[in-house]
Amino acid sequence: MDVVIWSRIQFAMTAAYHWLFVPLTLGLAVVMAVMETLYVVKKDEFWKKAAQFWIKLFAINFAVGIATGIILEFEFGTNWSNYSWFVGDMFGAPLAIEGILAFFMEATFFAVMFFGWNKVSPKFHLASTWLTGIGATISAYWILVANGWMQNPVGTTFNPETVRSEMASAAAFWEVITNPVAVSKFCHSVTSGWVTGGIFVVGVSAWYLLKNRHVEFARKSMLVGAIVGLVGSGAVMLSGDSSGVHAAEFQPMKLAAAEGLRDGGNGAAFTIVPGIQVPHMLSLLATHDWNGYVPGINDILNGYTDNDGNVIPSVEDKMIMGRTALDALAVYRKTDDPVLKAEAKALLEANVQYMGYGHLSRPEDVVPPVGVVFWAFRFMIGLGMLIALVLLLSLIAIWKDKLGAWKWLLWASILCIPLVYICGQSGWVVAEVGRQPWTIQGLLPVNVAISSLSAGAVKTTFFIFLAVFALFLAIEIRIMIRAIGKGPEVEPSENI
Amino acid sequence: MTYEFLQNYWWVLIALLGGLLVALMFVQGANLHLGNRVLSDTQKRMILNSTGRKWELTFTTLVTFGGAFFASFPLFYSTSFGGAYWVWILLLITFVFQAVAYEFQNKKGNLLGVKGFRIALMVNGILAPFLVGTAVGTFFTGSDFTVDKVAITDPSAPVISTWGNAWHGLEALGQYPALLLGATLVFLTGILGDLYILNNVEDDGIQAQMRRSVKLSIGPFLLFFLSWTAILLTQKGFAVSPDGVVSMEPYKYLHNLLAMPAVLCMLLVGVVLVLYSLYLGAFSQSRKGIWFAMPGTVLVVMSVFFLAGFNGTAYYPSNTDLQSSLYLANSCSSYFTLKVMFCVSLLIPFVVAYIAYAWHQMDKKKITAEEITTEENKY
């Protein structure tokens, strides 16, 4: 395997691993902040002890999240050198803002939250708990502005003097930070974190109920967890719908791959699983129009006319225009003749829109691994709906006082903890594998985004990180299970 | 605001973040005492919990330093990170272990045991300042890379910044001036750690150890620092002409110092502050040395960055191809991006204010043995 593949595998592993810890951070942050608010408002020690227990689990999880976040930041430079130059001007500003606004907030108030119970006032402590979660959420926004830009590169101009994408005006900056893809990604990711946090709390509480331990604590935690998780589920569905519309508009190949749609058309059907289809549903979801046109993989390869009447060229034509742009750029950079330079610049500007395609060697390169994206999409939706159902049933069981009778639901809640991770990971597989071969949609394919390293060097670091990640995960799970086993320091057990 | 002003402004901020990073590496320095055989386990835990309340700020400063460098001078990021691969990866791994070591080390079931994680913290305590120092040292010795922006049009070898050797940064270990700066930072952060613990922890035995440690570190620190400074001020430097041509100039950094009296003053004030803190730590009863050492460190590090980047100097020079060297104007972000970031940076005083407030609230009570034995929320 070459350096491109190893760089991709390493980055994918780091990002996927990071995402094991982030959603629980985002979700538990809400749960524990709500509980501590109840403590401060009701002045009930129970809620303080409850919040402290979930904060303890939050802290175990938070450490690995931080440790892996910095790896991603470094890998942009170490493994994606061309990318970091090409996008530095666009991507740098959100990252710097993230550092200044969010990271310091998280780091400072996490320390107060964790150590400050006996050092600061209850209100200052409560503010710190909220600010830890808000810091994490703001952080998610800025990193998803960057990721959203890679999916839909708005507000950018290619500058042949510097050979990179640049942000040229306040309007461009505004476009970047309000990029619809970024906004819906932010809502989708953060609220999926609430689902993760919610079902985690529900699952752990269910375990206590099954063991007949900390019953009061478990019931009340389950209530908070189920509400946070259900609110999250609703928001995930809404933002998922807009993500689908954006994919249709900005990344039709991703949508086609997610649907396994070889040949598209008007009134396209949605495939639930191969062989079972709902007529017109894909058109409705993707375009909000019963008969809207959805292009398939072959349409995108061969060219088509979209719903607004725009003629989209074939990939082969885009590659020719892209190659023309790259050749013009080379002439522009090398010549000192002002006439030749002006001609080259004009030619570049006429074709720059497709410059990324000039790096491809054959049209089929634009097709992502269809099977992976297709099934990941189905896992994400199927598991997401199952988890929402379990959360809803948990709420009903608490309401109707059926927790003692519905033991199967308690087991289902525990089972949902690993499932929610598979669900979240599947979502990122759809988003990231689905946009292959692009690092930046249409502008920079992965094979050009890399660093000048040997495959052996990246392979070595991949295995080092693999070993470190496996070790940390094993430790994290062991410590987490022990902490759950020890339980909260609340009231003695009672029967359901 | 001109483009040049913004470039200089961001270099000042990078220098400030670099200075803060080194000053906050008192965390790394203090953690070296986790291997101190004279200290009891409770005393070690007091040190661990003292740095444990601060490590995230050091870590976050590192992340922000990287993010700000990426944002304001992306060609440095793409050239150095992608080129000096092993240096950055090593630094990264030591910090990754540090990030989990606090939370995990005293928990049952942590697989590596207390000792394993303490070793990780001590390795980070030595390697982090050493690697950062060595990397900054190459700002003055040069590195082995070329930058060719047309390369991106060549499908067979599209990478703009390429490193000239397979060592990918480890070759800096063969450049003794860079090594001297690395060693200087190891002893400086060690001293900062001693002074911080002296101030933050209430324990006679620990305090005696810290004072002893400062005394022992003064000699090697001054030896390495003065040797590096002597080499710096007498060596050839990488000068950039107004039209962007890079050439070697004898005594370049001495010239820079003399041409920028404000930087000379910063350097001298910084050195005096650090020396005074050494006196306070080693030869007086005062526990306030850290309050002089940290600002002193920030001033010295900032002046080192200014010598590297201002007054027509290439801050990340290439020995392989002089004209590939990076200077502020050829490696920075666009005018508009720097301007947006300028506006964002106006929030920094607010951030510093809330950090100071939170620290003040948390540090009102010094760490004591009683707290370590009775408090539930601890590392």
Say if residue B106's pLDDT is above 90: no
Say if residue A496's pLDDT is above 70: no
Choice between B254 and A115, residue whose per-residue pLDDT is larger: B254
Question: Rounded distance, CA B40 to CA B50, Å?
Answer: 15
Our CA angle for A452, A457, A462, nearest 5°, is 115
CB contact under 8 A, B158 and A448: yes
> What count of CB pairs under 8 Å joins A to B?
283
Which residues on chain B are in Cβ contact (under 8 Å) with A91? 70
Question: Rounded distance, CA B185 to CA B163, Å?
Answer: 26
Q: Answer whether B266's CB lies under 8 Å from B302's CB.
A: yes
The residues with which B147 forms a beta bridge, in sequence order, are: B161
Read off the pLDDT of residues A411-432 as tens digits, 9 standing for 90 and up.
Answer: 999 999 999 999 999 999 999 9
Say if residue A346's pLDDT is above 50: yes
d(CA A433, nearest CA chain B) in Å: 23
For residue A494, with 0-12 CB atoms within 10 Å meaning exposed, 13-18 middle and 19 or more buried, which class applies?
Answer: exposed
d(CA A249, nearest CA chain B) in Å: 28
d(CA A394, nearest CA chain B) in Å: 32
Choice between B52 and A489, residue whose per-residue pLDDT is larger: B52
Say if residue A494's pLDDT is above 70: no
Which residues on chain B are in Cβ contact (under 8 Å) with A117? 377
Read off the pLDDT of residues B130-189 as tens digits, 9 standing for 90 and up.
Answer: 999 999 999 999 999 999 999 999 888 899 999 999 999 999 998 999 999 999 999 999
CB contact under 8 A, A100 and B351: yes
Read off the pLDDT of residues A157-177 as tens digits, 9 standing for 90 and up.
Answer: 999 999 999 998 889 999 999
Which residues on chain A are in Cβ contact (under 8 Å) with B62? 70
Question: Rounded distance, CA B292 to CA B297, Å?
Answer: 9
Q: Answer whether A328's CB lies under 8 Å from A353's CB.
A: no
pTM over 0.90: yes
Read off the pLDDT of residues A77-105 as tens digits, 9 standing for 90 and up.
Answer: 999 999 999 999 998 778 878 888 888 89
Question: Rounded distance, CA A12 to CA A432, Å?
Answer: 9
Which residues on chain B are in Cβ contact (under 8 Å) with A448? 152, 155, 158
Question: Rounded distance, CA B172 to CA A308, Å?
Answer: 57
What are the tokens at B26? 């008192």
CB contact under 8 A, B110 and A475: yes
DSSP B293: H
The whole-number pLDDT of residue A1 equals 67
- Other beta carbons within 10 Å of A304: 19
d(CA B65, nearest CA chain A) in Å: 9
CB contact under 8 A, A479 and B107: yes
Q: What is the mean pLDDT of chain A?
A: 93
What residue in A sits closest to B77 (Cα-Cα)?
A77
Q: What is the mean pLDDT of residues B25-50?
A: 94
Which residues on chain A are in Cβ contact (under 8 Å) with B128? none
Nearest by CB to A74, which of B88, B107, B112? B88
Which runs of E-coded beta strand occur in chain B?
145-147, 161-163, 237-240, 246-249
d(CA A440, nearest CA chain B) in Å: 15
With b meaning 16 or more CB within 10 Å and e meaning fewer, what string describes B245-265?
A: ebeebeebbebbbeebeebbe
Read off the pLDDT of residues A463-472 as tens digits, 9 standing for 90 and up.
Answer: 999 999 999 9
Residue of B48, B159, B364, B379 to mutate, interface with A, max A Cβ within 10 Å: B159
Nearest by CB to A475, which of B80, B104, B161? B104
CB contact under 8 A, A329 and B77: no
The whole-number pLDDT of residue B367 equals 82
Choice between B242 and B370, residue whose per-residue pLDDT is larger: B242
Instruction: Give Cα B353 to chain centroid, integer Å.
Output: 22
Which residue has 């017109």 as its token pair? Answer: A280
CB contact under 8 A, A359 and B155: yes
Residue of A20, A83, A115 to mutate, interface with B, max B Cβ within 10 Å: A115
Q: What is the mean pLDDT of residues A4-17?
A: 96
Q: What is the mean pLDDT of residues B238-262?
A: 97
